[in-house]
Chains A and B, each alone.
Chain A
Amino acid sequence: MSEHKIFRINIVTPDGLVYDHRSTLVVVRAIGGEIGFEADHEPTLVSLQIAPVKIYRVNGQIQYVAVNGGFLEMDDNVATIVANTAERPSDIDVGRAQTAEERAREQIKKAKQDHDKAALRRATVALNRAINRISTVSLKNH
């Protein structure tokens, strides 16, 4: 592990700094596909999907954070994820996420019947958010 170079990963949201640790590798799901970041990566700006972010800690531990869209900026060995919300698995209420998932699926069904595009888009985002939360927790438990 020691040959891996270390860089800093921050996650900031409007409600404050959610995550601030050292890492050897960060894997995010960008709009065009998954990307991994290691130290000394060139300055980059990446748009993110609503998906868990995988962070390899210095001690070899792997952590997941549910990030709700936003973007990642890598510069000078500091990776910063700027998102509207971000939750660590310990802060996620799985039961609530599951009910939110069911509700979103029903809304999608209804929106499809009514041909309501705006409602469909809203429900899809809600569904993605719920799935993101659930998968972040299940990834952590594996």
Chain B
Amino acid sequence: MSQSLTDIKHRISSVNNTEQITKAMRMVSAAKMNQVQRHYTQYEIYDTKLREILKKVASSEFFRYLTCSKESDPEAFQNIYYDLTEESIVNSFIESRQSDYQEKKHQKAAYLVITGDRGLVGSYNSSILKSALSLLRQAHKKGEDPMLFCVGSVGIDFFHRRNIKIDLEIMNLSDNPRFGEVKKIISKTVDLFQKGLYDHLLICYNHFVNSLTSTFRVEQILPISELEIFDEVGESQKVEPLVDLKTFPDPMTVLDTVLPQYAENLIYGAILDAKLAEHSASTMAMKSATDNADDLINRMSIEYNRARQGAITTEINEIVGGASALE
């Protein structure tokens, strides 16, 4: 009996140690989450401004002029195409605005899957990877061969193990990624699009809803022409007058800076959002681990007390038995 007593004692103290570790990790994750959240509010200033400007651009006179169709205004159409390079993002952008929605066929997709670099985040990584994998399989079934970009070593290992080729990968992001850090993968992604290696980009990541929940989200970022913002503007344009916005040097050059920057901004936003969700998932995982440890300790303390009581009872029995035997 005394053997099991020390056994239980050992187990209690080992669970206690684990609990202290998970408690500390939880606090660390919570602090990181706060940090990213603060950074995210800073980023939102930039995002809002960029969105505002894009809206203004979309409702400006020159933009209307640029996106007019070949049939309605052949002369204007000629002028636009005067000095456009083949690879320009604006070119593909305008082309798709001018053509009908039904005509567009998706040829080759690219998926950007954002995962974490570490475990201990509950179901955060597995939920993304499961959904992303089923998306990829669906695409394969349709006979497409999508490109795959991956952020985070968990995702990279996962795809390597399944012999899925990753076209672009980046790992070991810091806990609060600055724009400069992820600039490389972002501009590379936009670059490949401009070169026409794929024609629409989907981002798969966990969206941070609040500190308790995050949801898997797939968002289409490129081509920009299919973003909601232009449809919104298109709706409001019917009632509101066009904005008179001057550009320098010419509208095409300006669009050529604004549009890629907007695409980069969207990708960066998704990465920040995913990081936020990762930290919150980690906080939650560590919290439930701590709670579990608490439960275990409670249960084992009861067991310990029972065993101790049992040992005392047998001891008393033995003494009483021994005393009565002497009488």
Binding site for B on A (CB under 8 A): 10, 12-17, 30-32, 35, 42-48, 69-71, 73, 75, 80, 82, 84-85
Top 8 closest A-B pairs, CB basis?
A: A16-B42, A32-B249, A14-B179, A47-B257, A44-B246, A46-B248, A12-B46, A45-B247
B244: which A residues are within 8 A, CB to CB? Answer: 42-43
In Å, the complex CA distance between A70 and B258 comes to 7
B319: which A residues are within 8 A, CB to CB? Answer: none
In Å, the complex CA distance between A84 and B256 comes to 15
Tell me whether A70 and B261 are in contact in the complex, defined as CB-CB below 8 angstroms, given that A13-B46, A16-B42, A47-B254 are known contacts.
yes
Tell me if A's interface is mostly helix, strand, loop or mixed: strand
B179 touches A84 (CB 8 A): yes
Interface size of B in residues (CB-CB distance below 8 Å): 30
B49: which A residues are within 8 A, CB to CB? Answer: 10, 12, 80, 82
From A46, which residue of chain B is reached at the shortest CB distance? B248
In Å, the complex CA distance between A46 and B264 comes to 19
A47 touches B249 (CB 8 A): yes
A80 to chain B, nearest CB (A): 6
Residue B194 at the chain A interface, CB threshold 8 Å: no
The interface stretch among B50-58, B68-76, B147-155, B217-225 is B50-58
Pick the contact of B42 from A15, A48, A82 — CB < 8 Å? A15
A45 touches B249 (CB 8 A): no
Residue B214 at the chain A interface, CB threshold 8 Å: no
B248 touches A32 (CB 8 A): yes
In Å, the complex CA distance between A43 and B57 comes to 11
B53: which A residues are within 8 A, CB to CB? Answer: 45, 71, 73, 80, 82
B45 touches A12 (CB 8 A): yes
Residue B180 at the chain A interface, CB threshold 8 Å: yes
Known A13-B179, A14-B178, A42-B244; 14 more pairs at CB < 8 Å: A10-B49, A12-B45, A12-B46, A16-B39, A16-B46, A17-B42, A31-B249, A32-B249, A45-B56, A46-B254, A47-B249, A70-B261, A71-B258, A84-B183
Pick the contact of B261 from A10, A32, A35, A82 — CB < 8 Å? A82
B46: which A residues are within 8 A, CB to CB? Answer: 12-14, 16, 82
B246 touches A42 (CB 8 A): yes
B261: which A residues are within 8 A, CB to CB? Answer: 70-71, 82, 84
A71: which B residues are within 8 A, CB to CB? Answer: 53, 254, 257-258, 261
In Å, the complex CA distance between A30 and B248 comes to 8
Find the residue from A14, A30, A43, A84 having the highest chain B CB count within 10 A.
Answer: A14
What are 11 A-B pairs with beta-carbon distances under 8 A?
A13-B46, A14-B179, A14-B265, A14-B268, A16-B43, A45-B53, A45-B248, A46-B248, A69-B257, A82-B49, A84-B183
A14: which B residues are within 8 A, CB to CB? Answer: 43, 46, 178-179, 265, 268
From A80, which residue of chain B is reached at the shortest CB distance? B49
B265 touches A46 (CB 8 A): no
A125 to chain B, nearest CB (A): 10
A47: which B residues are within 8 A, CB to CB? Answer: 248-249, 253-254, 256-258
B178 touches A44 (CB 8 A): no
A45 touches B258 (CB 8 A): yes
B276 to chain A, nearest CB (A): 15
A82 touches B50 (CB 8 A): yes
B39 touches A15 (CB 8 A): yes
B243: which A residues are within 8 A, CB to CB? Answer: 43
Residue B135 at the chain A interface, CB threshold 8 Å: no
How would residues 1 to 43 of chain B score, 1 for a CB under 8 Å from any chain A CB and 0 otherwise? 0000000000000000000000000000000000000010011
How would residues 259 to 274 of chain B score, 1 for a CB under 8 Å from any chain A CB and 0 otherwise? 0010011001000000
From A48, which residue of chain B is reached at the shortest CB distance? B257
B247: which A residues are within 8 A, CB to CB? Answer: 44-46
B50: which A residues are within 8 A, CB to CB? Answer: 82
